[in-house]
Amino acid sequence: MHFSLQCSLPPVITALCPQSKSFSHEPRHHRIKKPISHVPKSPLCSTTERALIHQCIEEEEEAFDGRVEDQTLPLGLRREALPRHVAVIMDGNRRWARLRDLPVGSGYEAGVRSLRKIVELCCEWGIKVLSVFAFSSDNWFRPKVEVEFLMSLFERGIQEDTGIFLRENIRISVIGDLARLPKAFQELIINLEEATKNNARFQLIVAVSYSGHYDVVQACQRLALKAKCGLIEPSDINESLIEQELETKCTEFPYPDLLIRTSGEFRVSNFMLWQLAYAELFFAQSLWPDFGEAEFLKALLAFQKRQRRYGG
């Protein structure tokens, strides 16, 4: 793609070198920079004037570069400063419904629409992993009718979106105590994970029947079993071995850079307790169904302003 940029030259240069009023440029990655000596030598243009022309070209190139590289990003976002892994506690679905005198299920359905929008934005902006807290281990204590509705909503969502995941090169991973899920749902998850395991554009990790406590406990149990079988010694157990047994071993980027929690609550609610050790936290006032592009952008801009020290 070619772009034409107009370079305003000082009047004296325009008068002396009329052939140099404008310059046609391609994006820098399509162009080889030419030294000053390659500027056409007019008998009326002195060395100083040709240097000024060259300087004008350079200034136009520098102003243009930022627009080329990040043309898919909203104003203010820097690609090199984006989080690779964003985790979200999608809170406020029930409150959203009650504020509108709607059934609780309507809040969850609206929440699914918000999730689809955030997934779309992550793919568009280049974020590699999104983890969402969809159903906590503690949520099993909610009314049976609500739990059954959520399970059916999850199943329906997978069935409706499988084609999109395959077409858009999205990998799906589901973490948590899946043994507690309905058998049909378990089979659906296994098939979806297998069908998308080689997709590399973006990974969506859905935490269902999950808690941070559960994750650490199951990792310890796996290591204990390995020790019992003589595969490792108890003294071998360290942070690295524990991390290899956590549920987030399913991704290249297991530690969220940014955690977003919606609905004005200021806690992590037993989500990825080990993995969030050095994550930046952002608490949004919006209820999850109202969380959209503007709110997501605000969280990412806030993240880019943080200085991550990792305890140093």
Helix (H, G, I), strand (E, B) or coil at 260: strand
Q: Return all residues near 78 (Cβ < 8 A) that are at least 6 apart.
A: 70, 304
Q: Return all residues near 26 (Cβ < 8 A) that are at least 6 apart.
A: 1, 2, 3
Q: How are strands ordered across the β-sheet holding 202-210? A: 170-175, 202-210, 129-136, 85-89, 258-261, 280-283
DSSP 44: T
**Residue ranges of E strands in the chain:** 3-5, 23-25, 85-89, 129-136, 170-175, 202-210, 258-261, 280-283
Active site residue 91: yes
User: For residue 283, what is the enclosing H or E element?
Assistant: strand 280-283
Of 91, 161, 215, 257, which is the active-site residue? 91
The residues assigned a catalytic role are 91
